[in-house]
């Protein structure tokens, strides 16, 4: 079964699907959607079957296949996954059908055709699979850059009012990062060529020793590209624009999957290939990561645009992920990988539900909403689940990953961990502020009703305190006399949101199967970089050794 | 004592959590289909859980029983099990939570009868009970943390139950945020335990905590205390609890009086082996308890909102419990005893307050009450018994359990003993004052009833239906008898001995009889003072403006909100605004400028998509040339 070309098919099926959908005549939107959904479900099935075929305790890379591509330079179309890449493929498999379902009723901007939109989504899926499945550094680079094209058009053609500015900015940042990485990729080849036969194969490169000074340069080349992609402060300013202007489906894939290529890159390339440089630069990266946790959270609180707010929360979350990666412990890095998956689900859902709200009100401004919970309780409930997952409430998937990152970071980097832990207060603030302003209170703004002068927290007329059932009902029915009824979630929207809600809760209660997949790959990575491979027996007298090992 | 694997009925103790959790899930996912019987299902799950808890407690036999469910997280050297620990301490809490919880569910059937969202109310209550049971039954700190934040969520949902009201929505958010501040402490304590001991189970931590340096133990103790302060509304995180009264009154009774807010006491008592090793942390617990019991008592004297008075009373009474656990081994059992009796009488008082509000068109201003004793006889009697129990009327519940704490404080000896004992006695006097004031303003004197809003008829007080009064009666029986039973008949300290060690006869600095006499005398003084200031005079329907500085400060709860706002909220808002400006102008501006420098003019970046694609193409081309050149160089060389 493991000889079955899962990975190749996961790239080929959506790529062919994209071509078919793109070739459909204009106006065949429904057919385009049906084909896209079918294709994406096939990819999901393949991802699940690949997971079944994967042996967590086996070789580092599995389901491998390799076809020589540019023989002169040792480039091959080599695919393979470790546990880390595999869970990312699962995430892609889940998110793409959800995104297609969520974009089902989207109206195209101007004269564009929605068939094109779905074609770009499928092409993006193929390329995203490729970037995680590539085991050849050059192939990785090709996918890394090619991935930008569909996303560029998704933002630039189907986005909000400032879509062109956002798309250009997104592209420019990625371009700069990509070019710097390209230089490093070439450098890596040169180094390998100097030590024998030049190669781009990850396992060959991982085996060679690189001079520490050269490592530093190459590390920086990769690091900058990845730090832009999974934006770490101060490389983050493209994300709020891109996240806000992208169509909701595009934003989910952008923040949910595309940006994870950055943190994935840290783990796959920076740590194993440049272990000395990784250790040298770790304190600086950690400082950026932790600064980002607080800085982006504060910025999220200050946003008036819901999609920008969610984008900033992601920057804060990427700070947690980077923290987990650069402390070099198995617990924290396992947490970081789990975080990459969980963040995709949680923030994906948050973007989707914000999009559903925007579809009803026609505005991204928080202040245009109020009291939605009374009129659309299911929407409010899904919003709350997404928000709680975003603030990592126990019982949701994000708690497990955030807890692992922090608990695994503390032994070696207590100060950074303490500062990052303060971020959990800020996370509660930005989520609950947005939730209260849009969902609670009397019906307001676009939701109809009187635009009450009472600011948030003001006392309403009448007695303070408990109003009892009867009067509370009276206020519901009395206030929005002029209210436009906000329709609650449609069946399609519920069908789109429920898989994510279910995964958020299931993975919050029983995360161990995913951890079992991730941990061996993480342990291999951590041992590459010379960190704590984990498995120390819990006893008191190892604490001194632990602290030393971490420092 | 060693923990043994669960057998028989005890191995099914996970049902305690699963039942209410399933109830919540059915009610939330079932939608309107469950409207007709949702409240019955919600009540049944908790009632059955109570029966199971009772049976489990009877089959416990002084043992500590472990139930392994599944592996929650296992990676590296971290292992967290979903495991339960059923021991005398968790048994006591399970009984309190399910027992009082079931009564309050019954009461809510009547109280929420006319609310269109009653089903959801029961779903949230069930969720709360499940999370609270996980909190007290978990066998490790992570399970406790999961329950800890779970009850925080339930509390948030229930405070904001009438979320159309901005005050309720804001109070809910405030509660959650202030709790999260405390949660940071609890989380960090867990991190330190894992870093230093490699484990987060109670058994593992308590078994090896003695090997740690004193400073580390103190740090763990203080971090746990921070968590406890957040959840239990203790200084300096007390300001959210009175605001939480925006929630429906059954919520105030169950969550914000009887159970959730006492979780901090549970945390410290459960962590007794840690606190036993750190005098410093215990002293801080003592100070927090003493300060909070005074803050609560002072503020309780000044409020006119019946629920806020009870809320500050809760703050103050939990202060007594913190004081007790801060005393160490002599105080743990006393704290838990007071926690239990407080659970009875304070829940009863809140249910009584709910009954009064029910009668008074949901008003809460005591200046608009008066003369309700005859209109609401059952409420008056049950509330009156709760009142007597709270102020420590001889031989009622509070008398036994509060006196035990005061005695233990005085037994400490030395200056600190006198100061703490003095504060506790003074607090008892203030308690008597504010509760008597509440009784007089509500049930006695002239009726000062007025319409709840312009255009509504004046209230016609009527007694609540029996579905509400029966739970009140049951709780009032508890208020009368629980203290005597727990101290004299089935001594709680002996039941808890497997957890806290055998009780030993303390050496009394002052004879208990003298203490009891003095405390009773101070209590009578408090009652008399209330009679002099409130009972003898006509109660003004509008609060007097010209009052002393002390009264003014008490009305503002000693300016806790003002301090929080000026220290954290406003600076936080300024910081946020400043950072948004910096991020838009500074960071983004610099990058845009750089990009403009590379690509030409900044205006072109903004508008020219086509120009940009050219740039990109050039970039790709340049890159490709670079690659080709480098590769050629390498192969050639």
Dump pLDDT digits (tens) for A120-156: 999 999 999 999 999 999 999 999 999 988 999 999 8
Of A464, A534, A547, the CB nearest to B76: A534
Spatial contact of A423 and A409, defined as CB atoms under 8 Å apart: no
Q: Please tell me the predicted confidence (pLDDT) of residue A477.
A: 39
Query: Does one domain contain both B485 and B551?
Result: yes
Residue B192 forms part of a structural domain: no
Q: Helices (DSSP H) in B360-413: which residue ranges? A: 377-391, 397-411
Nearest CA of chain A to the CA of B374: how many Å? 23
Query: Does one domain contain both B308 and B404?
Result: yes
Token couple for B494: 């002996």
Range(s) of the domain holding residue B588: 564-636
Q: Please tell me the predicted confidence (pLDDT) of residue B323.
A: 95
Q: Please tell me the predicted confidence (pLDDT) of residue A545.
A: 40
Residue A384 forms part of a structural domain: yes
Query: Does one domain contain both B550 and B568?
Result: no
Q: Please tell me the predicted confidence (pLDDT) of residue B412.
A: 86
Residue A474 pLDDT more than 90?
Answer: no
User: Which of the pair, B10 or A222, is modelled with greater confidence?
Assistant: A222
Residue B335 pLDDT more than 70?
Answer: yes
Please name which of B157, B142, B141 lies closest in space to residue B24, comparing C-alpha atoms.
B157
**Boundary residue ending a domain (B523, B555, B587):** B555
User: Which of A203-207, B43-47, B248-252 is predicted least confidently?
Assistant: A203-207
Residue A182 forms part of a structural domain: yes
Query: Does one domain contain both B433 and B390?
Result: yes
pLDDT band at B447; cut points 50, 70, 90: confident
Question: Which chain A residues in 80-139 lie under 8 Å from chain B, judged by CB atoms?
Answer: none
| Residues constituting chain A | 551
Range(s) of the domain holding residue A312: 6-450+486-550
Count of other CB atoms within 10 angstroms of residue B552 = 13
Query: Does one domain contain both B474 and B574?
Result: no
Average pLDDT score over residue span B420-443: 93
CB pairs under 8 A between A and B: 295
Residue B413 forms part of a structural domain: yes
Average pLDDT score over residue span B506-534: 88
Chain B contacts of A414, Cβ < 8 Å? 191, 195
Spatial contact of B352 and B386, defined as CB atoms under 8 Å apart: yes
Q: Please tell me the predicted confidence (pLDDT) of residue B629.
A: 60
Residue B140 main-chain phi, psi, to 5 deg: -155, 165
Average pLDDT score over residue span B480-502: 88
Q: Please tell me the predicted confidence (pLDDT) of residue B626.
A: 63
Rounded-to-integer distance, Cα A319 and Cα A420, Å: 9
pLDDT band at B630; cut points 50, 70, 90: low
Cβ distance of A460 and B166 shorter than 8 Å: yes
Q: Please tell me the predicted confidence (pLDDT) of residue A547.
A: 41
| Residues constituting chain B | 637
Percent of chain A residues topping a pLDDT of 70: 88
Of B362, B576, B607, the CB nearest to A468: B362
Residue A333 pLDDT more than 80?
Answer: yes
Q: Please tell me the predicted confidence (pLDDT) of residue B590.
A: 62
Cβ distance of B453 and A461 shorter than 8 Å: yes
Token couple for A458: 């003001």
Spatial contact of B189 and B169, defined as CB atoms under 8 Å apart: no
Q: Please tell me the predicted confidence (pLDDT) of residue A2.
A: 57
Rounded-to-integer distance, Cα B311 and Cα B292, Å: 13
Please name the residues in contact with B528: beta carbons below 8 A apart, sequence gap of 6 or more.
none
pLDDT band at B593; cut points 50, 70, 90: low
Burial of A392 (0-12, 13-18, 19+ CB in 10 A): buried
Q: Please tell me the predicted confidence (pLDDT) of residue A312.
A: 94
Question: Which chain B residues in 99-118 lie under 8 Å from chain A, judged by CB atoms?
Answer: 111-116, 118
Spatial contact of A91 and A132, defined as CB atoms under 8 Å apart: no
Domain total for chain B? Answer: 2
Q: Please tell me the predicted confidence (pLDDT) of residue B270.
A: 95
Rounded-to-integer distance, Cα A522 and Cα A341, Å: 14
Average pLDDT score over residue span B478-502: 88
Render pLDDT for B264-291 as a digit per residue (tens, 0 to 9).
Answer: 999 999 999 999 999 999 999 999 999 9
Q: Please tell me the predicted confidence (pLDDT) of residue A467.
A: 39
Rounded-to-integer distance, Cα A202 and Cα A78, Å: 9
Helix, strand, coil abundance in chain B, percent, nearest 5: 75, 5, 20
Rounded-to-integer distance, Cα A438 and Cα A452, Å: 14
**Boundary residue ending a domain (B530, B555, B580):** B555
Query: Does one domain contain both B628 and B488?
Result: no
Average pLDDT score over residue span A259-272: 94
The answer to whether residue B607 neighbours chain A at the CB level (below 8 Å) is: yes
The answer to whether residue B42 neighbours chain A at the CB level (below 8 Å) is: no
Q: Please tell me the predicted confidence (pLDDT) of residue B313.
A: 94
Rounded-to-integer distance, Cα B97 and Cα B56, Å: 14
pLDDT band at B363; cut points 50, 70, 90: confident
Residue A82 forms part of a structural domain: yes
Token couple for B366: 């005591």
Q: Please tell me the predicted confidence (pLDDT) of residue B595.
A: 53
Average pLDDT in chain B: 87
Query: Does one domain contain both B339 and B399?
Result: yes
Question: Which chain B residues in 454-513 lie under 8 Å from chain A, judged by CB atoms?
Answer: none
Residue B303 forms part of a structural domain: yes
Q: Please tell me the predicted confidence (pLDDT) of residue A176.
A: 84
Q: Please tell me the predicted confidence (pLDDT) of residue B536.
A: 80
Q: Please tell me the predicted confidence (pLDDT) of residue A107.
A: 79
Count of other CB atoms within 10 angstroms of residue B11 = 17
DSSP reduced 3-state for B369: coil
Question: Which chain A residues in 407-436 lie under 8 Å from chain B, judged by CB atoms?
Answer: 407-408, 410-411, 414, 417-418, 421-422, 424-425, 428-429, 432-433, 436
Q: Please tell me the predicted confidence (pLDDT) of residue B104.
A: 95
Average pLDDT score over residue span B79-108: 94
- ipTM of this complex: 0.89
Query: Does one domain contain both B571 and B551?
Result: no
Of A395, A432, A534, the CB nearest to B177: A432
Render pLDDT for B159-196 as a digit per residue (tens, 0 to 9).
Answer: 999 998 999 999 999 999 999 999 999 999 999 999 99
Query: Does one domain contain both B320 and B413?
Result: yes
pLDDT band at B632; cut points 50, 70, 90: low
User: Which of A107-121, A470-484, A516-530 is predicted least confidently?
Assistant: A470-484
Start-to-end Cα distance in chain A = 44
Q: Please tell me the predicted confidence (pLDDT) of residue A287.
A: 95
Cβ distance of B184 and A519 shorter than 8 Å: no
Query: Does one domain contain both B502 and B536?
Result: yes
Rounded-to-integer distance, Cα B438 and Cα B387, Å: 9
Spatial contact of A43 and A125, defined as CB atoms under 8 Å apart: yes
Token couple for A152: 């560029």
Query: A73 to chain B: nearest residue by CA?
Result: B631
Query: Does one domain contain both B405 and B505?
Result: yes
Residue B30 forms part of a structural domain: no
The answer to whether residue A463 neighbours chain B at the CB level (below 8 Å) is: yes
**CA angle (B105 as vertex; B102, B108 as ends), nearest 5:** 155
DSSP reduced 3-state for B347: helix
Token couple for B422: 């003095």
pLDDT band at B452; cut points 50, 70, 90: confident
- DSSP letters, A153-211, are HHHHHHS-TTHHHHHHHHHHHHHHHHHHHHHHHHHHHHHHHHTSS---BHHHHHHS---
Chain A contacts of B453, Cβ < 8 Å? 461-463
Q: Helices (DSSP H) in B392-413: which residue ranges? A: 397-411
Residue B465 main-chain phi, psi, to 5 deg: -65, 165
Residue B251 forms part of a structural domain: no
Q: Helices (DSSP H) in A82-162: which residue ranges? A: 83-102, 114-133, 137-146, 148-158
pLDDT band at A531; cut points 50, 70, 90: confident
| Most distant CA pair in chain A, distance | 83
Cβ distance of B587 and A234 shorter than 8 Å: yes
Q: Please tell me the predicted confidence (pLDDT) of residue B579.
A: 85
Nearest CA of chain A to the CA of B361: how many Å? 8
- Asked if omega into B236 is within 30° of 0 (cis), the reply is yes
Render pLDDT for B455-470 as a digit per residue (tens, 0 to 9).
Answer: 888 888 888 999 999 9
Nearest CA of chain B to the CA of A31: how many Å? 31
**Boundary residue ending a domain (B514, B532, B555):** B555
> Distances from the Cα of A499 to the Cαs of A39, A91, A490, B453, B630, in angstroms?
18, 12, 15, 46, 48
Query: A476 to chain B: nearest residue by CA?
Result: B164
Residue B603 pLDDT more than 70?
Answer: no
Count of other CB atoms within 10 angstroms of residue B286 = 24
> Distances from the Cα of A329 to the Cαs of A171, A407, A413, A484, B369, in angstroms?
34, 10, 10, 54, 63
Residue B311 forms part of a structural domain: yes
Residue A318 pLDDT more than 90?
Answer: yes
Query: Does one domain contain both B542 and B583?
Result: no
Nearest CA of chain B to the CA of A96: how many Å? 26
Residue A456 forms part of a structural domain: no
Residue A6 pLDDT more than 70?
Answer: yes
Name residue B417's beta-bridge partners.
none
Query: A534 to chain B: nearest residue by CA?
Result: B76
Render pLDDT for A167-199 as a digit per residue (tens, 0 to 9).
Answer: 888 888 888 888 889 999 988 988 888 887 788
Cβ distance of B163 and A303 shorter than 8 Å: no
The answer to whether residue B414 neighbours chain A at the CB level (below 8 Å) is: no
């Amino acid at each position: 079964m493991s000889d079955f070309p899962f990975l190749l098919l996961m790239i080929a099926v959506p790529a062919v699907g994209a071509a078919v959908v793109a070739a459909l005549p204009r106006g065949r939107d429904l057919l385009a959607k049906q084909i896209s959904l079918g294709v994406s479900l096939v990819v999901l099935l393949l991802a699940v079957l690949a997971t079944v075929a994967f042996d967590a305790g086996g070789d580092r890379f599995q389901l491998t296949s390799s076809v020589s591509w540019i023989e002169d330079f040792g480039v091959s179309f080599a695919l393979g996954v470790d546990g880390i890449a595999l869970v990312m493929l699962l995430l892609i498999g889940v998110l793409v059908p959800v995104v297609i379902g969520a974009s089902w009723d989207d109206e195209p901007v101007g004269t564009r055709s929605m068939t094109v939109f779905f074609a770009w989504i499928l092409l993006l899926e193929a390329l995203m699979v490729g970037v995680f499945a590539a085991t050849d550094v050059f192939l990785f680079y090709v996918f890394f850059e090619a991935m930008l094209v569909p996303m560029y058009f998704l933002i630039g053609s189907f986005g909000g009012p400032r879509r062109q500015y956002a798309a250009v900015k997104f592209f420019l940042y990625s371009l700069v990062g990509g070019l710097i990485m390209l230089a490093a990729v070439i450098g890596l080849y040169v180094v390998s060529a100097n030590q024998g036969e030049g190669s781009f194969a990850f396992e060959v490169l991982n085996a060679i020793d690189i001079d520490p000074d050269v490592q530093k340069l190459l590390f920086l080349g990769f690091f900058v590209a990845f730090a832009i992609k999974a934006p770490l402060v101060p490389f983050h300013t493209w994300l709020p624009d891109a996240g806000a202007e992208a169509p909701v489906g595009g934003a989910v894939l952008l923040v949910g999957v595309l940006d994870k290529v950055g943190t994935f890159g840290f783990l796959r390339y920076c740590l194993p290939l440049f272990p000395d440089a990784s250790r040298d630069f770790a304190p600086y990266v950690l400082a950026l990561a932790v600064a980002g946790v607080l800085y982006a959270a504060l910025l999220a609180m200050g946003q008036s645009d819901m999609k920008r707010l969610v984008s900033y929360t992601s920057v804060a979350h990427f700070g947690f992920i980077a923290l987990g990666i650069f402390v070099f412990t198995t617990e924290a890095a396992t947490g970081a990988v789990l975080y990459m998956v969980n963040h995709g689900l949680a923030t994906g859902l948050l973007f989707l539900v914000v999009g559903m709200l925007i579809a009803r009100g026609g505005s991204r401004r928080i202040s245009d909403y109020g009291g939605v919970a009374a009129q659309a309780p299911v929407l409010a409930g899904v919003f709350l689940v997404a928000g709680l997952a975003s603030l990592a409430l126990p019982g949701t998937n994000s708690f497990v990953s955030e807890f692992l990152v922090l608990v695994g970071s503390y032994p070696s980097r207590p100060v950074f961990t303490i500062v990052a832990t303060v971020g959990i207060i800020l996370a509660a603030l930005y989520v609950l502020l947005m939730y209260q302003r849009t969902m609670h209170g009397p019906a307001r703004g676009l939701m109809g009703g009187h635009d009450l002068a009472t600011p948030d927290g003001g006392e309403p007329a009448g007695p303070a305190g408990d109003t009892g059932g009867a009067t509370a009902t009276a206020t519901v029915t009395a206030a929005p006399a002029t209210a436009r009824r906000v329709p609650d979630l449609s069946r399609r929207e519920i069908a789109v949101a429920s898989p994510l809600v279910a995964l958020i809760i299931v993975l919050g209660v029983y995360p161990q199967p995913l951890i079992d997949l991730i941990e061996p790959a993480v342990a291999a990575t951590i041992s590459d970089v010379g960190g704590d491979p984990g498995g120390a027996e819990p006893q008191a007298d190892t604490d001194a050794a632990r602290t030393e090992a971490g420092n | 004592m060693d923990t043994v694997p669960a057998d028989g009925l005890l191995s099914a103790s996970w049902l305690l959590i699963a039942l209410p959790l399933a109830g919540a899930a059915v009610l939330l996912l079932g939608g309107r289909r469950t409207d007709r019987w949702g409240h019955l299902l919600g009540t049944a799950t908790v009632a059955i859980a109570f029966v199971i808890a009772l049976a489990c407690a009877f089959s416990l036999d002084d043992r500590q029983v472990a139930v392994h469910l599944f592996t929650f997280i296992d990676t590296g050297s971290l292992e967290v099990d979903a495991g339960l620990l059923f021991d005398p301490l968790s048994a006591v809490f399970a009984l309190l939570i399910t027992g009082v919880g079931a009564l309050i569910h019954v009461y809510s059937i009547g109280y929420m009868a006319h609310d269109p969202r009653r089903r959801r109310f029961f779903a949230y209550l069930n969720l709360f009970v499940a999370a609270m049971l996980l909190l007290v039954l978990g066998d490790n700190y992570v399970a406790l943390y999961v329950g800890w934040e779970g009850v925080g969520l339930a509390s948030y949902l229930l405070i904001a139950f009438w979320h159309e009201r901005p005050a309720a929505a804001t109070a809910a958010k405030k509660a959650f945020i202030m709790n999260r501040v405390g949660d940071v402490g609890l989380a960090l304590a867990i991190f330190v335990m894992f870093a230093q001991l490699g484990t987060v189970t109670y058994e593992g931590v308590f078994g090896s905590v003695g090997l740690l340096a004193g400073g580390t133990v103190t740090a763990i103790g203080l971090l746990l205390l921070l968590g406890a302060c957040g959840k239990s509304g203790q200084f300096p995180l007390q300001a959210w609890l009175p605001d939480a009264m925006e929630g429906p009154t059954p919520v105030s009774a169950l969550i914000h009086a009887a159970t959730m807010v006492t979780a901090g006491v549970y945390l410290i008592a459960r962590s007794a082996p840690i606190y036993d090793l750190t005098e410093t942390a215990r002293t801080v617990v003592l100070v927090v308890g003493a300060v909070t019991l005074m803050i609560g008592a002072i503020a309780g004297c000044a409020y006119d909102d019946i629920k806020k008075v009870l809320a500050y009373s809760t703050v103050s009474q939990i202060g007594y419990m913190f004081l007790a656990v801060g005393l160490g081994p002599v105080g743990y059992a006393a704290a838990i005893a007071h926690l239990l009796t407080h659970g009875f009488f304070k829940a009863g008082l809140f249910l009584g307050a709910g009954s009064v509000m029910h009668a008074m068109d949901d008003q809460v201003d005591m200046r608009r009450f008066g003369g309700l004793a005859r209109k609401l006889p059952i409420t008056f009697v049950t509330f009156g018994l709760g009142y007597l129990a709270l102020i420590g009327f001889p031989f009622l519940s509070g008398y036994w359990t509060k006196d035990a704490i005061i005695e233990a404080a005085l037994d400490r000896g030395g200056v600190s003993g006198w100061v703490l004992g003095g504060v506790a006695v003074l607090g008892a006097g203030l308690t008597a004052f504010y509760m008597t004031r509440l009784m007089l303003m509500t049930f006695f004197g002239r009726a000062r009833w007025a319409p709840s809003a312009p255009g509504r008829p004046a209230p016609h007080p009527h007694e609540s239906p029996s579905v509400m009064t029966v739970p009140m009666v049951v709780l009032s029986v508890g208020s009368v008898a629980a203290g005597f039973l727990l101290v004299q008949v089935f001594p709680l300290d002996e039941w808890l001995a497997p957890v806290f060690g055998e009780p030993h006869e303390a050496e009394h600095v002052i004879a208990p009889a003298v203490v009891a006499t003095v405390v009773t005398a101070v209590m009578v003084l408090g009652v008399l003072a209330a009679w002099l200031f409130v009972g003898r005079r006509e109660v003004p329907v509008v609060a007097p403006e010209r009052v002393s500085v002390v009264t003014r400060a008490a009305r503002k709860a000693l300016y806790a909100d003002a301090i929080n706002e000026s220290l954290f909220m406003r600076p936080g808002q300024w910081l946020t605004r400043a950072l948004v400006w910096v991020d838009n102008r500074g960071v983004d501006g610099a990058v845009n400028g750089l990009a403009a420098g590379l690509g030409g003019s900044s205006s072109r970046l903004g508008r020219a998509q086509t120009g940009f694609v050219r740039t990109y193409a050039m970039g790709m081309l340049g890159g490709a040339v670079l690659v080709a050149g480098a590769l050629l160089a390498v192969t050639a060389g």
